[in-house]
Structure 1
Amino acid sequence: MKLSIVENGKKRESAIDIARFAREIKKNSWKILLSGIVAGAIAWPLMSLMSSKYVSTATVLIKAQPDNVSPFQKVEGYDSTRNGYYETQTALMQSRVVLEQAIRTLKLDQNPAFNGEGAGIGATPENEQQRVDHALKTLMKDLTISNVRTTHLSTVSYESTSPQLAADVANGVAESFINYTLALKQQKTAKARDDNQQKLQELQQQMAQQKSALDGYLAKEGLLTFRGVDGFETEQMGIITNRLANATERRVAAESIYNEIRSGGGRAISLPSISNHAQIQDLRIALIQANSELSQLEKTYGPQYDKVIQARARISAIQAQTAMTLREQEAGLRQNYEAALADERNYQKQLEEQKANFQKLSMKRDGYNDLKLALDKTEEMYKMAYQRTQELALPGSYSDADAEIYDPAVPAALPAKPNKPLLMLMIVLLVMLFYTMYIMVKTATDKSVNTLSQMQKRLNLLPLGEIRRFKGVGGRSKIRDLIASDPLNADIIHSMRTQIMLNSHPLQVIAVTSAEGGEGRTLLANLLANSFSFDQKTLLIDMDFFNSDGLSGELGSPKAPGVAEVLRGDSATDNVLVKMSENLDFLPRGNTPVSALLLLSPERLKPLIDSLRGRYQRIIVDVAAVNQSQEVQLVSQVTDGLIFVLKAGLNAADTIGPAIEKATNDHNVIIGGVLNQVVDKNLESKEGLRSLNYHTHELMNNTGQA
């Protein structure tokens, strides 16, 4: 069976292993704790040298509208509903002009801590502004001005080593802002008052000129100002109009009565205007009485009786008197009508004359109105200016400020910073955190293979076993003897033998290689051959033509004939075999004057391996490292499997992976990997841990006895 890492999708470690980080952190927890203790020990003396800083804060209320202390309109108003009004006031509070005023008020320019005298700036008058500038820079470093969100409040905070100075500066800046804005308002009010006084004088002169021009116009045109320039004419026209109306009414009434009498005939006496006359009423009553008396006399004496005749004569006299009275009444009504008509005509004539005069007056009135309108406007402006001048004069020098200190700053009882316990805790925690991050970064970037589990995850190699690092033991032969002579150490190799025997593939010929030289493949090949030789006919072959200090130098002579001579046909196999034990033979490397890549061609190597398969149950081949030579690619074509040896922590998985793939080259089965020189703390196999525990126990017992 032939396998490829790429084609069969062998997955190396690509996901983040959280447990790996947790293990590293737990393993180095004492270092993390120690780093925090060391950081605290170093930081505490330094923090003791730090001076305490006190912070005092003054709260300023920015008014939403001016105080209602005066009914008069202010010169400078503001609209607090405009967007950004309160932010603008807060920004103005930290303007240069306000801070300079605070510096001069608090005499900070005379304070060496502010004015820069320590920096070489003298106290000469020409350097006064320079001292103020230096004090301003010093002040702004520790000054904080901000507005409280969604309120009309702003806070002025100052940080200083002196609590009293911190309170004084915070209050001083707030008061300087209030005083500066108040002074600006007072200046504007005074300027407005002076401007209005000058305007009043100009308006007075203008009014005098306009009045003189108006009087001259009235005299020139002969106009009266009775209820206006046309008041007299209007009054006259009104009187005439009323009189004409009355005359017309009288004429109409007289004409109506006169016409009724003229058209009434014998019925005139029945008209109300005639019948209501007192003389007519008396005559009618007398006529009624005379007719009643005549009727009584005629019934009593007859028609020819003298009294009857007298009564008839009296009736005739009454009727004649009545007729004469009616004629007189008619004449009187006619005269009354004619008089009313004459009055009406007279008033009509007067009205026409008045209309003509009024029309002539209209042109003069327009000229007068123009002059009067100009005078009225000037007087109106004068009144407004006079009123505004009086309003500005009444308050005097008073003007309400746009802000006030709502909560003055007081000296702080405790320092605001540094909070030494908290700072110490933060330093310790930060150092511990950075060290933890260092461990995590180191773990994340560490691609080396130190344990069997890492080998399986990062290289997808089946872990066959591990060989622990033996401290104080030097040389490959000593390590081999130490492992072979101790049953617990030998179990490490025997467990690998067991896994190879239980493999589902027939693994008769096994090659042992590594990514780089010096990783322990020669040691493993020797130990595996000894393990298999316990009950199997085993052959150990040295095919490492790249390294001169391999098996041939350890088990025989480097110059002894071997594989090279057999492949060239210069010697038979039996002539170069070295008997190591009853079941173990060794085939040295031999000597070759040509390149091993030419010598190990499949045409030469395959017949040799096939002949050896019939003589041995197990053949172990030691091959040069993959990154040293290409010999392993040639040898792997005639072997059944390949064991990779890795030295713990030597190379990264990114380096070992390509070497494994290069060794297989689609022609061999990767049996698994063996991790060499594993430190005690990284041992994971049961055999490795058992060997470690046993030897630790023996060491402790021997030390106690000594």
Structure 2
Amino acid sequence: MNSLFVEDGNKLESIIDFSRLLKAIKTNWWKITLFAVLMTGLSIPLVLMMTPKYESYASILLKAELINSTTFEKTVDFDSTRGQYYETQYELLKSRRVVEKVVEDLKLYEKPEFIDGLDINSHSIEQRKEKSIKYVFEHMSILPIRKTQLVSIGFEAKNAQYAADVANGIVKVFIDFSIEDNNQANSKVIAFLQQQVDDTHAQLKQKEKDLNAFLKRENLINFYGVDGLPSKKLTLLSEDLATARAQRISIESLYNIVRKYQKGDLIDLMSIPDVSRHPNIENIRQMLTDQRTVLSDLEKRYGPKHERVIQARAQLVILENQSNQLIKEIAEGIKDQYNAAVFKEKQLQAEVDKNAQGFHLLGVQKTQYDNMMDDIAHTRSLYNKLLQRLNETKVNNQFTESTTKSIDAAMVPKNPTKPNKSLLIIVVAIMSLLIAVMLVVIVAALNNKIMTVRDIGKRLGLNVLGEFKCYKPETKDMLKMTVKDALENSVKYSALEAASLGVRSQLLLLKSEAQVIAVTSATQAEGKSLISSLIAKSMAIDFKVLLIDMNLRQPSLTQSFGVEDEKGLIDALYGDNSMKSLITTQPWFDFLPMGSLSRSPLVVLTNQKLSELYQDLRQEYDYIIVDTPAISDHKDTVLISQLVDAGILVIESNYNSANILLEGLEQLKDIQMLGGVLNKVDDKHLELNENLNLPTVEDIIL
């Protein structure tokens, strides 16, 4: 069961107890106050001797864009929307280039404040300039105003005039550098464009000269261009060929029809539209029609054999013969037209083929000519653009502006800004208080010792049974109080009496069935013998109690009661004496002394008869209080723990750390620990009601 207390104690030990820290601060408040007062008092002369410093600020505007004085594209431009633009401007304001120029313009290297004690005569101007530059860097400030394009430029100096002059100097130099950079950029662009214009113009002239030489060498100079005349001629021939081919196709179809009808009766050719529409055919057809009409009338009037009928018939035959002859002539004419069309087409085709072959040979020259013309056109276009850009840049260069505008000039400050002596003194006072509090807290945090009964529960996980105040001697001649003195002088040591009764009440409230209770401590001299006696006395009020001295190595109880020469526990184990005859009766309880030690304590504590003796004592007494050695002394207490039902741990206030106590409890993990009793508690650490509001008594050290 005790292992649970140890585990709980280890867990609680790892938790920060803020109440303990606060109590330490409360207890040492006067030390904290004294430290703060002393530190503040010492700092006041130093603060009053501090050199005043002045600060002056100028403000500038970082332009988002430059004014466009013309419609031409600007040579120098910037994009203020980039995330790094304003950060770059801030760094440029702090650049060495600007600071060096300010130092040079204001001759700061001749002012003692800026050269920090350097002798003007013994140090070179370069050394003094470098010192001045370093001083300006250390005391200048660039403060961008949030969510604006404004920047405050400040300077701190011991001289108010210097503070304003340097701040304004930084603004002036930065603006001048901005204008100078723009002018230099424009000049470089103009020089570059002028060189490009000259080079491009020379290239253009040379290319035109090369083109003329090529045309002359290839005999290609003409009004129509390199391929103008051949192309036009070929075009006309192609058009004539197309016309001739169309005519040939048209007359060929007519010719084929004529050939077809020539195989039959020639009169059938009259049905062909091109033949029937011939003027002569139309006339002769009309004449044939008229003659047939006349013949028909004469036959009706005179009969077929009449002379006039015969003449009319002969006339009709003549007309028919003429008609056939005319048809033959027309057919021959169509044939001649077809042959002529075929011949013309062949002639034109041959001419087109001839000219096309020559035109293909001209293509290589035409390609070279076109390439040269394109090159000249591109060069001329580039030349015109460069010349235009050069003229635009020259116009733009007549108006230059800075990317920065001065808004407010730095004014000479009337009052110093540093140091704020009142504030510094207050800060020193506050810091002194904080440091003192911190030291107290650190000391309290590092102090792992059990100070109050509250620590027993929080840091060890044990029940709090009680606390006993520490009695201090009034003089150095006073002797150390014995256990017997404390028991006999209950009035004089009323606090001990009240505390022991409080422990009795706590033990009864626990309702533990433990009958044999061991009283021990982690180390020696923590007062466990006194506490065991006081507990035995308080329990003997209502119960039959036996107090046993089992501290075989240092039997302080046996010595305190003056029975060191009498027989006791050891004699009962190794002699013939009965246990009852060895128990001494004290005014408060029965006491079993140690007896005469003739063997090793470890041998005595491992005697099998010891357990039987305890069983006999259990029958005679309600409670048996056992005073044991310290846990750290050998293995005696561990062996004794096998004979008892429970244990009580006596802890001296502000003596042992919680870790030592937890290690001791770990060794007694097999028995029930009823709780802890805090002994030798300083008055300022008392917490239980038994020790509060007691009448004043004489203090004696335990």
CA drift at 1:215: 0.4
Q: Distance in 2 between matches of 1:200 and 1:525?
A: 120
- Contact map agreement 1:196 1:389 (CA 8 A) in 2: yes
1:387 and 2:415 equivalent?
no
CA drift at 1:103: 3.8
Letter of the 2:650 counterpart: V
Q: Distance in 1 between matches of 2:100 and 2:571?
A: 107
CA drift at 1:395: 1.3
Moved more, 331-340 or 605-614: 605-614
Q: Which residue of 1 aligns with 2:481?
A: 476
Structure 2 SS opposite 1:382:
helix
Q: Which residue of 2 aligns with 1:99?
A: 95
Q: Which residue of 2 aligns with 1:517?
A: 524
- Contact map agreement 1:193 1:392 (CA 8 A) in 2: no
CA drift at 1:345: 2.9
Q: How is 1:178-577 mapped onto 2 (pairs within 5 angstroms)?
A: 180=181, 183-184=184-185, 186-218=187-219, 225-243=222-240, 246=243, 260=258, 263=262, 265-266=266-267, 272-273=273-274, 276=277, 302-303=301-302, 320=318, 324=322, 327=325, 331=329, 334=332, 338=336, 341-342=339-340, 345=343, 348-349=346-347, 352-353=350-351, 355-356=353-354, 358-360=356-358, 362-363=360-361, 365-366=362-363, 368-369=365-366, 371-397=368-394, 398=396, 405=403, 410=408, 445-470=446-471, 475-477=480-482, 483-485=490-492, 490-497=497-504, 504-505=512-513, 507=515, 511-528=518-535, 530-531=537-538, 550-551=556-557, 555-556=561-562, 563=568
- Contact map agreement 1:32 1:435 (CA 8 A) in 2: no
Letter of the 1:448 counterpart: K
Structure 2 SS opposite 1:519:
coil
Q: Alpha carbons of 1:249 and 1:11: their partners in 2 closer, same or farther (altered >3 Å)?
A: closer
- Contact map agreement 1:156 1:170 (CA 8 A) in 2: no
Structure 2 SS opposite 1:396:
helix
1:654 to 659, 662, 666: 659
- Contact map agreement 2:100 2:133 (CA 8 A) in 1: no
CA drift at 1:110: 4.2
Letter of the 1:227 counterpart: Y
1:675 and 2:682 equivalent?
no
Letter of the 1:693 counterpart: N
- Contact map agreement 1:59 1:154 (CA 8 A) in 2: yes
Structure 2 SS opposite 1:513:
strand
Q: Distance in 1 between matches of 2:287 and 2:638?
A: 178
Q: Which residue of 1 aligns with 2:690?
A: 687
CA drift at 1:135: 3.2
Q: Distance in 1 between matches of 2:610 and 2:503?
A: 27
Q: Distance in 2 between matches of 1:125 and 1:349?
A: 109
CA drift at 1:651: 0.7
Q: How is 1:575-654 mapped onto 2 (pairs within 5 angstroms)?
A: 581=587, 602=607, 622-628=627-633, 631-632=636-637, 642-654=647-659
The structure, 1 or 2, with the larger RCO (C-alpha pairs under 8 Å, 6+ apart) is 2
Letter of the 1:455 counterpart: I
Q: Distance in 1 between matches of 2:287 and 2:381?
A: 84
Q: Distance in 2 between matches of 1:28 and 1:226?
A: 114
Letter of the 1:686 counterpart: N
- Contact map agreement 2:75 2:393 (CA 8 A) in 1: no
Query: Per-residue CA shift, 1:154-181, capped at 9, x if unaligned?
Result: 8866453357855764686587468636
TM-score, scaled to structure 2: 0.70
CA drift at 1:216: 2.2
Query: Per-residue CA shift, 1:379-432, capped at 9, x if unaligned?
Result: 124313311321232113437999985886646999999999999999888887
Q: Number of matched residues?
A: 669
Letter of the 2:108 counterpart: P
CA drift at 1:191: 1.4
Q: Distance in 1 between matches of 2:164 and 2:72?
A: 43
- Contact map agreement 1:158 1:166 (CA 8 A) in 2: yes
- Contact map agreement 2:568 2:592 (CA 8 A) in 1: yes
Q: Which residue of 2 aligns with 1:704?
A: none
Structure 2 SS opposite 1:395:
helix
Q: Distance in 2 between matches of 1:639 and 1:248?
A: 143
Q: Distance in 2 between matches of 1:348 and 1:281?
A: 35
Over the matched positions of the two proteins, sequence identity in percent amounts to: 21
Q: Distance in 1 between matches of 2:195 and 2:557?
A: 117
Letter of the 1:644 counterpart: L
Q: Distance in 1 between matches of 2:284 and 2:366?
A: 68
- Contact map agreement 1:54 1:417 (CA 8 A) in 2: no
Structure 1 SS opposite 2:649:
strand
- Contact map agreement 1:580 1:586 (CA 8 A) in 2: yes
Query: Per-residue CA shift, 1:228-270, capped at 9, x if unaligned?
Result: 4443334334444544555566667677778749836345666
- Contact map agreement 2:451 2:685 (CA 8 A) in 1: yes
Q: Distance in 2 between matches of 1:283 and 1:457?
A: 153
Q: Distance in 2 between matches of 1:171 and 1:537?
A: 103
- Contact map agreement 2:98 2:174 (CA 8 A) in 1: yes
- Contact map agreement 1:181 1:401 (CA 8 A) in 2: no
Cα RMSD after superposing both structures: 6.1
Q: Distance in 2 between matches of 1:35 and 1:403?
A: 63
Q: Which residue of 1 aligns with 2:159?
A: none
Q: Alpha carbons of 1:274 and 1:485: their partners in 2 closer, same or farther (altered >3 Å)?
A: closer
Q: Distance in 2 between matches of 1:506 and 1:287?
A: 171
Letter of the 1:14 counterpart: K
Q: How is 1:135-146 mapped onto 2 (pairs within 5 angstroms)?
A: 135=133, 138-139=136-137
CA drift at 1:375: 2.7
Moved more, 105-114 or 236-245: 105-114
1:25 to 22, 28, 33: 22
Q: Alpha carbons of 1:521 and 1:296: their partners in 2 closer, same or farther (altered >3 Å)?
A: closer
1:112 to 94, 99, 108: 108
Q: Alpha carbons of 1:141 and 1:164: their partners in 2 closer, same or farther (altered >3 Å)?
A: closer
Letter of the 1:673 counterpart: G
Q: Which residue of 2 aligns with 1:703?
A: none
Q: Distance in 1 between matches of 2:380 and 2:496?
A: 121
Letter of the 1:521 counterpart: K
Structure 1 SS opposite 2:466:
strand
Q: Alpha carbons of 1:331 and 1:37: their partners in 2 closer, same or farther (altered >3 Å)?
A: farther
- Contact map agreement 2:36 2:433 (CA 8 A) in 1: no
Structure 2 SS opposite 1:673:
strand
